[in-house]
Structure formats: C-alpha cells, structure tokens
C-alpha cells in the first residue's frame, strides 16, 4: 500500500496539507522538549511513526520542497536535526525505541541534505540551512542544555560540511553566521566587567592588576550569572566553543580576508581573565571553578587561544609590517590612522583608550595592558627595534601624555626597556619622573582626581630594571626623592581621605619604589636604610594578609625586607648595623605571619599569589635565630603548617620544628636526669606535642595509591604525615635513656606504629603480592635524607622518603616495630616486611651496631676497668662477645644478631659464668636481651648493663630479688626499695609492676605490707 501523499492526483486540500504539516512539527517539538530522564512511551512511538511518514514524503522531491517551504511546518528540518541527537537516560525498551528514532532521524536528515544539495536553487539551500544553523548556534549559549558546547560544535561542523565544502563561499558565509558579530559577544561578556577583592591579590604576581582603580564589589553585588552543568556561563560556552572551532577549521579560515580581529581580542582578553581565575579560583565568573571537571575545559581553551594567537602572529604580523611596524603603530595611535593591516590595527585598538570611559583604570584596561606587553615583546624579539623608535614611544609614556591609559604606558615601557634601558634618553625619562615625583607634597595628592602623583609613581617603577641599578640616575636625585617621601610619612593622615583599597594600592607601589631605590643607592650612606626598615616593619606588622587588598602590601613589605637583608650581607655597613638592631622585632613578626598561614591554609583554597607570598615567608624564616623561635612560637602552632598544600611551606615548617624539637629534647633530658625522684609514681612526665601526635596517628587514605594517578592523590597530606613521623624520630637524636623510654611508652600506648607501618608498606609496595613489586633500594642510600630534595611531583620521592622513615623506625624504636610485626595478622604483609627488611636494612643496621664498638669513645666507655672488660666483634658471624676477667678467670657472654635483625630477638648466650648463681646469671642474661629486645637500646647499652651488673655484684651491691639483676633493664637503676621486715631490696620499677599485677602492696617475699 502506497502512502497517501504519493498518489498522483491531490486528495488533500492546501488547508488540510498545512494542518497535517503543522501537526507533524508540533509532535516533534513536544518530543524534543521532554527531559531525557522521563519520556512517555506513547510519545516515542508517535515520533517514530512521524519519522517513517517523513521518510516516505522525502522520497519525492516535489513533496520535499513543498513540506520544507511550507509556512505551517517552517523549521521542521531543525526538529529533525535535533532528533538525531536526542538521548534517553537509562536502559530498557524506551531506550531502544529512542535509538531507533535517532537512526530514523539521521536517515530523514540525509535525505533532506541530499535533496537540497542536488537542487540548483541556492536560495532554497540557504532558506533551509540558515534556520537550522541559527537554532543550533543558539544552543551553544543555552546554559540549560545538557550537552557540552564541544558536543554541539561537532553537530554544527557536521551541519555546515554537509551543505558546503570547506573553503567555499557558502562555507565562509556559514562561519560568519556562526560567529555572529562583536556586539552580541560584548553583550554576553558585559556581566564580567565587575570584580571582587580576591582579584586584588594578583597584584603580587601581575603588575597590571595592581593598577586597577575601579572599586571592587562584594560577592552579593555581582551581576547574577547562570552556569550549565559543566560550570560554564553563556559567554564561556560561546568563546570556548569558538576557539575549538577555529582550531578545527584552521585560523586561516577565520581571518582570510575578513575583519575579525575582534574575535582575537575576545579570545586573548578572555584567556588572560581565565588565567586570573586559575591563579585565584573563583575570581573569574566566566566559569564556576567549584564545578568538578571545569578546570580542564579552561586549560584546553587557553591552549587553543594561544595556538590561534601564535599562528596569527607568525603568519600575518611578521610578514606584513616589516621592520617599520613601530612607526605604523605609532601613527595609528597618534593620528587614529586605521589604514594598516588588520593585526596592527587590532593592536592599535587595544592601545587606544575608549573615549566613552574616563581616565580611571578598569579591568579591561588591565588585561589590555598585559596583552599589549606580550605582543610588543614578541614583535621586538622577532623583528627588532631601531633607535629611532625610542623618541616616539618615550613621548607616549610620559606621565602627562594623554593618548594612552596608564596600563598601556606600563606595557610599552616593559617591552622596550630590555632594549633601550641604557640609552641616555631612557635615563632622562627616569630622571624627569624622579624630579616630578619629588614635587609631590603629601600622600593626599594620590587621591586627587587628576591622578598625577599616581601616574608618576607607577611610571617610575615601570622604568626600573632587574640588572644593575634599578633606576640609573645620579644618587643625589634619588636621595632627594627619599627625603620628600619621608615628609609624606611624617603626616600620613592625608591617606585617610582615600578609599582603603586605593590607599593600599598606593602603599604597594611605594614599597616597590623603595626596593628600586635601595638597589640604586647601595654606595650612599644615610638614614634611608633605617627609614626603609621602619616602613617595611610597619606594613608587615600592621597589615592583615588575610584581607585580599592588603596581602600585596604585606608581600612587598616582606620583599623590601628581603632586599635590604641581601644588600646588608653584600657589605653595606650602615644597613647591616640598622638591620642588627631591628632584627628581633622583624623575626617575631615573620614568625607570626608564617604561623598564621597554617591557620589560613586549612580553611581556604590555595591560590597562586598566596603560594608566592608563602614561599617568600619560608625564605625569610630560614634565618630565624633559635632564640627568637623558642621565645615567639609554640610547637603546636607550627605543626599545623605540616598540613599545608604548599610543599615549600611544609618543608620550612619541618626545619623550624626540627630546631625546636632539638632544643626541647636537650632541655628535657637534663631536667629528667636531675629530677629529684626516679620513682615510678613521679609526676614529672613529658609528652609528645599533642598536635604532632594527633597528626602521626591519623594517616591519610592511600588505599588507591597504585590505582590513581599521582596528581589525583592528596599529596600534601601524604607528605605532611611523613614529615610528622620524621619529626618524631628527630626526638630520638642524642636523647637520654629515660626520655627515650617516656617517648617510646607514649607511642606504644597509642599503638602508633600500627598506623605508620601499613602506610609505609603501601608506599614501598611491600606485602602487595604479585601485583606490585617492592621498591628497589639498591641504588639509594637511605640512612641519610635531605628533605630539600623531596619533589612531590615524583613518586620516587615518596618511596625513598618512606624507606628512610622505616630505617629510622628500625633504628630508634625497633622493639615497637618488632611487636607490630609479631602481632600483625596479615601474613602476606609480615612475610613481605621480613623479606624486605632482611634484604635492605638488616645488614646495614647490624654493621651500624658493630661500628659503634669500634669508636674510640665507646671503647673508652666499655674498657675502663684496667682491661678487665674486653669486647670483640665478629662481623662474619654478626656476633659480639664480651669477656670480664675475674680472679684469673673469664666471665663471658655472646650476643648473636639474627639475619633479619631487628625483627627477631637477639640471642644472648652465657658462655661462662664465674662467682654468681644460676638465677643471677639468668637475670643478667635477661637484662642484656631486654635492653635491645624491649627497651630500644643498642648493643653498647646492653654491654654497659652487663658490665655494670658484674662491677656492682663484685662490689657487694645486692641484686633485685624480683628480676635477679642489679641493673634494671627498664630504667638502668639499682635496687633501692628495701622491705622493712625481710630487708630485701627491689628496683622501684619491678616493685611497682609487682604491686600492679598482684593488686597488693605487700613484699613479694615475706608478704609484709610495704
């Protein structure tokens, strides 16, 4: 049966035909408005039937033309095109029907495009094509669409190329339609002329942001912006997709014979704004940085925008203007001459001010300045700059010159000073600026509408260079300027009339001017050094780095101090004297600022300006004297910095904590050794810092260490946790026995090793079976470790660090590691740890123990009894023998270190006893084994205990009748607690354990109440 529309003679009236066409289109429109998550099955079947009908209609050319040109169904081609890409969520029969619909729509669309392509009527093609293109183009900026702009762009590409070959006039017209015009782009971009105070922090690393004069707005005052599911605004969707499309078709297709430099302007200014948003997340509203996955989209855009710019520069800008580009550009700026090539015209338009604006520097001006500097710098690098250009450009950048706005003047100066900074006319400009700035009478003039003082200050700073004297003019002129500025600060109340953000902006520039002057008057004696130090201290101490607008001031004040300190150490005597006088207060402030960053970093997203500021603080606190550190800060405050997301901050915090811990351990060791009582009940306890301890026993989750890429791990948490344990081990350096026991007991009570060992094993790949091979340590020396060599971007840094931590654990707390290993229920892990330890650590630790015995100081300690006590090390057998000469007889013991030392207990053998009972001998052997096995002692400690037992025994000292040793293995004391009835003596520690285990305070022998 043939469809009714294929009957030769008409059966339907025109009115009926229009009604049918309208019904078909309405049904398609209803379908396309449905949510992908919920579409009625009946509607799906109805749409499928419509597409079957349309497929039959479009088999006839006349009916195809009639339907597509019918007013009642105008736009039906758009609905068919959209139906090709409709996707239903989930699975099931509805999903299968939807797939059939998309295939049917694709078939119908192919029939349409074939029919139109075969038509000789071009107007018919454009009549059909343009509505579809405009509709799909509108969906790019529609933030309610579920599809990404890139996906829609793929459809547009297919749409255009299905009608017009690339390079044809029709293709070019389609690109023009797709792009739209500059006015529509500006309309979409208009909400992004505002900014919040967070942008001002970029004044640290972007000199142009510091020139902003329009005031910031509060977050709740921003123009509301809607975002799609990818976090993109309508403007973001447009410009990101257009950058992608230009790269697809090639920049030549965009710029070929067309005045489309406005597209380049949008691309490049937006790329600068996006970089701002990456440096300070949230400061750009073009996209919502809090949406997961939005950042990679922005990074792709930046790559594309830079590719388009560089391509355009290389293919057009370099070839057309030649070496007189600066003359043409100057003429275009000065005379409003637009008769130059498109790209130079684009540069000129960036540089010329918009006459609708006042002289106030806006966000667009700031970004334009940065872009102009980039372009001019590339131009000079590619084509050079002749000396006849200098008078032209210097005339434009003078403070009083009105042709250009301040950011553009700064851009020109930054571009040309690399070539002309040593020219006489350039130095003359610096001299003129210095003289005119010396004529400013007070800080209040920086708030005057004319902006004369502000322009002079900024322009003079811009002329400074990084090499030699920053400002190359006679020193006396600069010293005269310093005297003028000192008068400004004798009465700085005039600053009160200026808005706070503007006041801070002025002080930031003055701080930078002080840095430049300091570099330029190194050979001049005078009061300028003390003045600079005073200002630096004041700005650092009384400004708040947590306030966005004040962070740059604190940064540049600290940078000023850094510069002055460097100059002082280079040999400026006056400055060094002033610095020595004021150093204590500076370091106190620096430590406070440094510690504050720990509190800040836990509650705020990291930003590039903050990181730069933190790194400067880290550099400055490197030289903090120990006295200032101990007096000004508590260890817990600095521990917080171990959790910072800034690696440099973590390293500096470690160095400061290491210094503090060394000091604390020395003081505690002395205090404990000289405490009045050694009783077990003594309340003179010491504790590991609570904040550090909490960090140590709460390891980060690294369960996916080998399944996720390194950059997706919480690397700063991993590094901070490892630093915390390294600091714990720093407690054991040069420590007394009693303090070591205190720390060990705390670690044991908290079961801390059970938190560390699985973590270290995971990093090293130990005990993972066949899936992961353990890290090969054969190329690494892990008994020493420099934290400065750690690089968080490389996995090997974590592995070498973890290996060093394990080495330190085996060295300082072997008994706790042994106990964890014995108690561990994961057999695969215990086997792996044992094998790894024996292969990589045991031999090194055994040699270290034996090397101790060869040291002169150790020999002197052990062999001070007229050679009655001798020690012999047998390296090949990993054995040590000790012989005590008693009345022409030898008392001898042998200590055997196992091959997997220290995981397994040492073997203490009583080779020959003399003059002691079996109980006493066994007690001595137990004491020797306990010192190494359970008290974290080394072999020297064990031999010392044995030697003291022998010496005291033959001196008549009674042994403890609980442990049968004279020297306590736990605290190295002798028996001092005597029973009043039986007169037997006991170690305080042994007696305490007896009382606790027996629940009785009676004598272990006679049972009399003690």
Alpha-helical regions (H) of 731-794: 737-749, 753-764
Nearest to 741 by CA among 792, 647, 645, 813: 813
Full-model pTM: 0.85
Give the model confidence (pLDDT) of 839-866 as tens digits. 999 999 999 989 988 888 888 878 766 6
Across the range 660-683, mean pLDDT stands at 71
Is the pLDDT assigned to residue 118 strictly greater than 90?
Answer: no
Across the range 429-457, mean pLDDT stands at 89
Contact present, 622 and 652 (Cβ < 8 Å): yes
pLDDT confidence of residue 676: 42
Per-chain mean pLDDT for the chain: 86
Give the model confidence (pLDDT) of 687-704 as tens digits. 899 999 999 999 999 999
pLDDT confidence of residue 114: 79
The CA-based dihedral angle spanning residues 725, 728, 730, 731, taken in that order and rounded to the nearest 10 degrees:
-170
CA dist 37 and 44 (Å) reads 13
Distance in Å from the first CA to the final CA of the chain: 116
Is the pLDDT assigned to residue 486 strictly greater than 80?
Answer: yes
CA dist 217 and 237 (Å) reads 25
Nearest to 269 by CA among 202, 193, 199: 193
Give the model confidence (pLDDT) of 393-440 as tens digits. 898 888 788 889 999 999 999 999 988 888 899 999 999 999 999 999
Across the range 46-63, mean pLDDT stands at 80
CA 733 to chain centre: 32
pLDDT more than 70, % of the chain: 92
Across the range 121-144, mean pLDDT stands at 81
Give one DSSP letter per residue of 902-913, joined into a string: TSSPPEEEEEE-
Is the pLDDT assigned to residue 169 strictly greater than 90?
Answer: no
pLDDT more than 90, % of the chain: 45
Tokens standing for 887?
Answer: 């009345």
Q: Read off the pLDDT band of 558 (50, 70, 90).
A: very high
Q: Which of 102-111, 325-334, 740-749, 767-776 has the highest mean pLDDT?
A: 740-749
Lookup result for tokens 């980039």: 374
CA dist 604 and 601 (Å) reads 5
pLDDT confidence of residue 918: 87
Across the range 258-281, mean pLDDT stands at 93
Give the model confidence (pLDDT) of 745-788 as tens digits. 999 999 999 999 999 999 999 988 778 899 999 999 999 999 99
Across the range 939-967, mean pLDDT stands at 83
Strand duo 889-896 + 879-886: pairing: antiparallel
Q: For 307-312, which contacts have Cβ atoms below 8 Å and span 24 or more sequence positions? A: 307/247, 308/243, 308/246, 308/247, 308/251, 308/254, 308/264, 308/267, 309/264, 309/267, 309/268, 311/251, 312/251, 312/255, 312/264, 312/343
Across the range 127-141, mean pLDDT stands at 84
Query: Which residues, 6 or more positions from 146, have their beta carbon under 8 angstroms from its beta carbon?
Result: 36, 229
Give the model confidence (pLDDT) of 215-257 as tens digits. 999 988 999 999 999 999 999 999 999 999 999 999 888 887 6
Give the model confidence (pLDDT) of 903-922 as tens digits. 998 899 988 888 888 888 88
pLDDT confidence of residue 4: 46
Q: Read off the pLDDT band of 680 (50, 70, 90).
A: very low
Tokens standing for 148?
Answer: 């990404």
Q: Read off the pLDDT band of 70 (50, 70, 90).
A: low
pLDDT confidence of residue 605: 76
Nearest to 813 by CA among 949, 688, 700, 676: 688
pLDDT confidence of residue 450: 65
Contact present, 156 and 244 (Cβ < 8 Å): no
Phi-psi category of residue 256: left, alpha or beta, with phi > 0 → left and psi -120 to 50 → alpha: beta
Q: Read off the pLDDT band of 683 (50, 70, 90).
A: low
Is the pLDDT assigned to residue 961 strictly greater than 50?
Answer: yes
Q: Read off the pLDDT band of 675 (50, 70, 90).
A: low
Across the range 923-928, mean pLDDT stands at 86
CA dist 855 and 988 (Å) reads 34
């Amino acid at each position: 049966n043939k469809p009714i529309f294929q009957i030769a003679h008409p059966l339907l009236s025109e009115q009926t035909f229009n009604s049918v066409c309208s019904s078909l289109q309405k049904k398609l429109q209803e379908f396309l408005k449905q949510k992908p998550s919920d579409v009625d099955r009946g509607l799906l079947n109805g749409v499928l039937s419509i597409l079957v009908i349309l497929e039959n209609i479009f088999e006839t050319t006349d009916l195809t033309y009639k339907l597509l040109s019918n007013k009642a169904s105008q736009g039906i081609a758009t609905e068919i095109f959209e139906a090709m890409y409709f996707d239903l969520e989930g699975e099931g029969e509805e999903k299968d029907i939807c797939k059939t619909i998309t295939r049917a729509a694709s078939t119908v669309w192919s029939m349409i495009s074939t029919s139109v392509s075969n038509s000789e009527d071009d107007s018919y093609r454009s009549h059909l094509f343009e509505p579809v293109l405009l509709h799909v183009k509108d969906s790019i900026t529609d933030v309610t669409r579920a599809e990404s702009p890139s996906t829609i762009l793929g459809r547009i590409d297919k749409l255009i190329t299905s009608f017009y070959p690339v390079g044809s006039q029709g293709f070019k017209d389609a690109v023009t339609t797709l792009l739209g015009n500059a006015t529509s782009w500006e309309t979409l971009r208009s909400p992004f002329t505002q900014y919040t105070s967070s942008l001002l922090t970029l004044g640290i690393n972007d000199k142009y942001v510091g020139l902003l004069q329009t005031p910031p707005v509060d977050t709740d005052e921003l123009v509301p912006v809607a975002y799609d599911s990818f976090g993109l605004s309508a403007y973001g969707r447009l410009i990101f997709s257009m950058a992608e499309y230009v790269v697809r078709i090639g920049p030549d297709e965009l710029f070929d014979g067309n005045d489309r430099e406005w597209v380049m302007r949008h691309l490049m200014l937006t790329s600068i704004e996006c970089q701002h948003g990456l440096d300070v997340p949230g400061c750009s509203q073009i996209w919502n940085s809090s949406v997961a996955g939005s950042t990679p989209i922005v990074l792709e855009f930046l790559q594309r925008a830079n590719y388009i710019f560089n391509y355009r520069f290389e293919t057009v800008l370099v070839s057309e203007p030649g070496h007189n580009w600066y003359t043409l550009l100057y003429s275009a700026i000065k005379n409003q001459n637009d008769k130059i090539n498109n790209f130079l015209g684009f540069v000129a338009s960036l540089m010329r001010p918009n006459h609708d604006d006042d002289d106030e520097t806006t966000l667009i001006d700031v970004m334009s300045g940065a872009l102009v500097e980039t372009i001019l710098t590339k131009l000079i690098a590619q084509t050079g700059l002749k000396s006849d250009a200098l008078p032209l450009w210097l005339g434009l950048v003078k403070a009083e010159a009105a042709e250009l706005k301040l950011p553009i003047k700064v851009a020109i100066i930054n571009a040309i000073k690399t070539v002309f900074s040593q020219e006489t006319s350039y130095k003359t400009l610096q001299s003129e600026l210095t003289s005119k700035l010396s004529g400013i009478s007070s800080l209040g003039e920086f708030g005057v509408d004319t902006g004369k003082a502000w322009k002079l200050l900024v322009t003079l700073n811009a002329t400074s260079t990084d090499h030699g004297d920053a400002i190359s003019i006679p020193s006396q002129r600069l010293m005269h300027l310093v005297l003028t500025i000192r008068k400004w600060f004798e009465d700085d109340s005039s600053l009160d009339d200026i808005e706070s953000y503007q006041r801070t902006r002025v002080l930031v520039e003055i701080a930078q001017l002080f840095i430049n002057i300091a570099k330029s008057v190194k050979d001049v004696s005078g009061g300028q050094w003390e003045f600079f130090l005073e200002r630096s201290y004041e700005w650092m101490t009384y400004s708040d780095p947590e306030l966005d607008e004040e962070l740059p001031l604190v940064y540049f004040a600290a940078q000023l101090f850094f510069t002055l300190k460097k100059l002082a150490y280079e040999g400026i005597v006056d400055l060094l004297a002033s610095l020595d006088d004021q150093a204590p207060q500076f370091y106190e402030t620096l430590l406070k600022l440094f510690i504050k960053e720990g509190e800040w970093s836990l509650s705020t997203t990291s930003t590039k300006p903050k990181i730069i500021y933190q790194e400067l603080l880290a550099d400055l606190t490197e030289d903090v004297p120990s006295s200032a550190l101990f007096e000004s800060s508590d260890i817990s405050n600095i521990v917080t910095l171990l959790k910072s997301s800034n690696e440099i901050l973590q390293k500096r915090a470690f160095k400061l904590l290491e210094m503090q811990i060394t000091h604390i351990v020395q003081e505690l060791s002395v205090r404990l050794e000289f405490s009045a009582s050694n009783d077990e009940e003594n309340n003179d306890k010491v504790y590991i810092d609570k904040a550090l301890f909490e960090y140590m026993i709460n390891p980060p989750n690294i369960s996916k260490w080998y399944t996720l890429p390194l950059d997706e791990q919480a690397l700063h948490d991993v590094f901070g946790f490892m630093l915390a344990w390294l600091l714990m081990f720093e407690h054991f350096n040069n420590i007394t026995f009693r303090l070591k026991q205190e720390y060990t007991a705390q670690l044991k009570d908290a079961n801390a090793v059970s938190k560390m060992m699985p973590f270290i094993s995971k990093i090293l790949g130990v005990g993972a079976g066949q899936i992961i091979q353990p890290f090969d340590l054969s190329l690494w020396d892990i008994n020493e470790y420099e934290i400065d060599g750690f690089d968080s971007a490389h996995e090997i840094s974590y592995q070498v660090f973890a290996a060093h931590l394990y080495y330190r654990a085996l060295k300082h707390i072997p008994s706790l590691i042994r106990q964890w290993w014995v108690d561990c229920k994961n057999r695969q892990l215990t086997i792996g740890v044992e094998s790894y330890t024996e292969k990589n650590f045991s031999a090194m630790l055994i040699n270290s123990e034996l090397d101790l015995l060869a040291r002169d100081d150790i020999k002197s300690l052990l062999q001070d009894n007229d050679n009655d006590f001798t020690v012999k090390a047998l390296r090949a057998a990993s054995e040590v023998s000790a012989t005590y000469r008693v009345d022409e007889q030898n008392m001898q013991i042998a200590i055997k270190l196992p091959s997997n030392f220290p995981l397994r207990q040492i073997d203490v053998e009583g080779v020959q006893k003399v003059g002691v009972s079996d109980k006493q001998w066994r007690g001595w052997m137990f004491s020797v084994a306990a010192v190494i096995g359970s008290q974290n002692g080394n072999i020297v400690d064990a031999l010392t205990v044995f030697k003291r037992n022998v010496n005291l025994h033959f001196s008549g000292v009674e042994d403890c009748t609980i442990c049968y040793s004279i020297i306590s293995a736990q605290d190295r004391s002798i028996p001092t607690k005597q029973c009043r009835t039986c007169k037997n003596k006991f170690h305080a520690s042994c007696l305490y354990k007896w009382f606790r285990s027996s629940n009785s305070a009676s004598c272990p022998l006679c049972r009399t109440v003690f």
